Structure 1
Amino acid sequence: MSDAISVQALPSWRRAVLKVGSNLLAADGGGLTPRYAAALAGFIQSSRAAGRQVVLVSSGAVAAGRAQLRAHAPSGGDLAAKQALAALGQAPMIALWQSLSPCPVAQVLLTHDDLRNRRRYLNARTTLRELLALDVLPVVNENDTVAVDELKLGDNDNLAAIVAALVDADLLLIASDIDALYTADPRRDPSAVPLVRVESLTPDIVAMAGGSGSAVGTGGMRTKLEAAAKAAAAGVPTALFSGRHDDTVAALAQGQLRGTYFAAGRSRMQARKYWLRHAPSAPGRIKVDAGAVTALASGRASLLPGGVLEVAGDFHRGDLVEIVDASGRAIARGLCQYGATEVKRLAGRHSRDIDVVLGYSYGAEIVHRDDLATLAEIESTGDIDA
C-alpha cells in the first residue's frame, strides 16, 4: 500500500522521538526479531551520524517475557501477570536494540506519574538530556512492573508523545504496521484512501481510526491519533509511517516521509511560553542582580547561582517560580532546579560550588534556559487558545 502514498518532505529536525510498537518487534513463533528493527536502528544510526539525536520509545517487553516462559507463560489480561512478563522481558528487549546499535544503549523506565510530578519530571528530563549529551541511545519504556492503571490500550503511543514534550523534540515519529491514516480501515474497506497531511485532529478525523491490528500490541490507530494530539499541543508535529517497509524507513533519513504528517498548529516555543504564562506558580520569588537581568533578557541564558540576590517564600524543586529584578519587578518565570532553602544557600556562589555547599548537585543552573521564559517572550506569543 505504501507505493500509493505520495512522498512529502519532512521539516528539518535536530531531535526526534521514535516510537516502535510490539507488532514490529514480535516474532511469529514468539519472542523478538530484528526483521524490522534492523532498518529502524539503521535510521537511528544515520540520523546520529548527521548530528541529530533520537530517543527511542520501544514496546515489546511483554511479548519477550512471554517467549521466555513459553508454555508456562500466563494467558489472559491479568495485570499482575502482564507486570511479571514485562519485568522478565525488559532484558531481552534492551538486548535486541543493543545488538543493533553501535553506540551504548540505556534503559529508561517511566510511568505517567513520573511525568505528572514536576520534580520527577525534571529528574527524567535531566537524565535524558545527559544521556543524549553522552552520545547514548535512550530506550524508554513504560515501567509496567510498578504501574497500576497505566498498562492499558495504547500506553506507549501516548508515552512517546509525552516524552517528545519532555525532551523538547522537534518531531515525533511513530513506526506502525500500517503505512498511514486512511479514511477507513484499508484491511476491510478497499475504497479507503490515505491521508497524506492532517492539519488538525477534528472529530471526523478521529472517527476514521479503527482498533488494534495486532495480536501482540496494546495500541491501535486511535491511540496514535491521541499521541499526535498530545504532541501537537506541545508544538511537536508527528509523522506516522510503516516500519515494515525498509525503503520507507530509509527515506526518513533523507528527510522524506511516505505516510501521514500531523501538523502541530503552533510552534514548540509558543506552546512552552503559553504553558509558562498560564500555569500557576509557587508562592515564591527569586530576586536577581542586574547582570542576570541582562543575561536573561537575551532569551538564551540560564539563571545561575551567582546572579541570585535573595529568595522570598517557599517552593520546591520542579516548582514554577517568578524571577524578579532588584526592584521587585517580575522579569521571567521558570521551573526551578532547586528548592527555596537550597537556592538561599547557593545565592551569589559559583556553579562549581554547588556540590560543595549542598553535598549534591542537580546541575549548574538554578533555572535552565529550556525551562525559562522572560515576560517579554511570553507576552510576544499573545493569547493562544488552549
Structure 2
Amino acid sequence: MEEAYRKRLRNVKNVLIKVGTSTLTYPSGKLNLNYIERIVRELADLKNQGKEVLLVSSGAIGAGLGKLGFKRRPKTTPEKQAIAAVGQGMLIQVYEKIFSEYGHTVAQLLLTRDDLVNRQRYINARNTLITLLKYGVVPIINENDTVSVDEIEFGDNDNLSALVASLIDVDLLINLSDIDGLYTSNPHTDSEAKLVTYVPEITAEIENLAQSTCGSLGTGGMKAKLQAANIAVCSGVPMVIANGQKPGIIHDIICGERIGTLFLPKEKPMHSRKRWIAFGLTVQGTLTVDSGAKIAVVRDGKSLLPSGINYVEGNFERGETVCIADEDGIVFARGLVNYPSSDLIKIMGLKSSEISKVLRENGVSEVIHRDNLVII
C-alpha cells in the first residue's frame, strides 16, 4: 500500500513545501545561503517540469537575529516583531534574487490567524494564491510576525503550511525539518528509535509518538508537525515529513522514494467550509455534553441542542467557535454557536421549547446547527 501510494506522488500537479527556521539558518541565526540556493534550485526544477510550487518559509526572525547580532530568540512580542521586520526583508530579497537567476518570479504573502478566521479574508487569500499560481508565480508565504500577537499567531509554520495546503487543495505537502520523520521514540535520546515511514491514519498511538524537539531558533516540534498532518489529511492532502538537509530530498519524494514519513489523506475529506470551521477559526470556549448528545451529534449527524449540555466554559459571543467535549473531557467536535455564553449558561439542560421562557425571546432550537458543526 505504501509503495503504491508513493508512486502516485510522481503525478502531483502542485506541491507545497514548508521549510523551518532550524533548516534555513545556522546556529548563529544567520541565513544558510548555500541551503537556500539548493532548495530554490530544486523548486525551480519542479517549475520547469510544469508543476505549480508554493513555499512556506520560516526564517524572518532568525535572519533578523543574525542581522542585529542577537544570540538567542527574544521572548517578548514587541522584540519578535521588530526583529521579524528586519529579517523579513532580508529573507524575501534572498529568495527573489536566487529564483530570478533560474528564471522564476516570486510573490510574498504574510498571513496571520486573523486572515483565516474572517470568512471573506479566507476566500480572498485563496483567490490570491490561485491567481498567482495561474500566472506562474511562486508564492512565498510566512506568518506575519511583524504584527502577530498571541491571540492571532499561528505559533509555528507547520500549522500555517497545512492550513494553506487545505486552503487551495494542493496535491502534496512536504514538511522539511532537521529530522528524518516520525520516530517510535525520540531519536536524540533513544538509540533504539525507529523511523515510521507510513501512517495510514493518525491514531492516539501515533499521537503519543510525538516528541517535542524544539531548538533555540525554531518554534515547532514533532507535536506541531503531527497537528499539521492532521489538518492536511482531513483536508484530503497527503503530507511527508522529511529531513531537509539531504540534497535532492524534494526530487526523491516526488519520484516515489521511501523517504521520511508519509501521512495518507482521508478518503472523504472535509468540505471547504467545514475545514474553515475545524482548523481556520480560533476556539473561544468549550461545551461539555452528555453521552446522549454525543451519540446524536457523532453517530446520527444531529444538531446540538441545549438539553444535552452539562457545562459551559469560556466567554464567547454568538457566531464564534467552540469545542464540544464529552463527559471525560475528550473534544470530539467544533462548531459555530448560536448563543453567547451568558445565555447558554441559562438554557443548558433545558428542552428547546423552554428557551423562550428563560430568555424571554424567541431563539433558535439548536445551540449549534449540524451545518455549522464538524466532527474532529
TM interval, shorter chain, is 0.5 to 0.7
Gaps of 5+ in 1: 1-6, 280-383
Q: 1:252 offset after TM fit, Å?
A: 2.8
Question: Given residue 22 of structure 2, which amino acid in structure 1 is its aligned partner?
Answer: N
CA distance in 2, matches of 1:130, 1:239: 26
2:179 is paired with a residue whose SS is coil
Name the counterpart of 1:60: 59
Question: Given residue 156 of structure 2, which amino acid in structure 1 is its aligned partner?
Answer: D
Question: TM-score, normalised on structure 1?
Answer: 0.65
Kept after mapping to 2: 8 A contact 1:212/1:218: no
Q: 1:125 offset after TM fit, Å?
A: 1.1
Deviations 1:22-69 (A, max 9, x none): 011112433101232233222211211121111110000001111121
Matched residue count:
272
Question: TM-score, normalised on structure 2?
Answer: 0.67
CA distance in 2, matches of 1:266, 1:35: 39
Deviations 1:294-314 (A, max 9, x none): xxxxxxxxxxxxxxxxxxxxx
Listed as ranges, the matches of 1:175-324 within 5 Å are 175-267=176-268, 270-272=269-271, 275=274
Name the counterpart of 2:96: 98
Which stretch of the first structure deviates more once superposed, 178-187 or 248-257? 248-257
Name the counterpart of 2:74: 76
Kept after mapping to 2: 8 A contact 1:154/1:223: no
1:17 is paired with a residue whose SS is strand
Question: Given residue 271 of structure 2, which amino acid in structure 1 is its aligned partner?
Answer: R
Structure 2 CA distance for partners of 1:138 and 1:54, relative to 1, 3 Å: same
Deviations 1:183-203 (A, max 9, x none): 011111000000010011112
1:77 is paired with a residue whose SS is coil
CA distance in 1, matches of 2:256, 2:200: 19
CA distance in 1, matches of 2:253, 2:167: 23
Structure 2 CA distance for partners of 1:153 and 1:142, relative to 1, 3 Å: closer
Question: Given residue 119 of structure 1, which amino acid in structure 2 is its aligned partner?
Answer: Q
2:79 is paired with a residue whose SS is helix
Gaps of 5+ in 2: 279-373
CA distance in 1, matches of 2:172, 2:166: 10
Structure 2 CA distance for partners of 1:160 and 1:63, relative to 1, 3 Å: same
Question: Given residue 76 of structure 2, which amino acid in structure 1 is its aligned partner?
Answer: D
Name the counterpart of 1:283: none
CA distance in 2, matches of 1:250, 1:138: 19
Q: 1:145 offset after TM fit, Å?
A: 1.5
Q: 1:8 offset after TM fit, Å?
A: 4.8
Counting aligned pairs with the same residue, the percent is: 38
Kept after mapping to 2: 8 A contact 1:15/1:171: yes
Q: 1:74 offset after TM fit, Å?
A: 8.1
CA distance in 2, matches of 1:184, 1:213: 15
Structure 2 CA distance for partners of 1:107 and 1:14, relative to 1, 3 Å: same
Question: Given residue 39 of structure 2, which amino acid in structure 1 is its aligned partner?
Answer: L
Deviations 1:180-239 (A, max 9, x none): 110011111000000010011112211111113422111001100000001111111111
Name the counterpart of 1:31: 30
Deviations 1:249-290 (A, max 9, x none): 3313434341100011225xx4227849x99xxxxxxxxxxx
Structure 2 CA distance for partners of 1:47 and 1:171, relative to 1, 3 Å: same
Kept after mapping to 2: 8 A contact 1:153/1:218: no
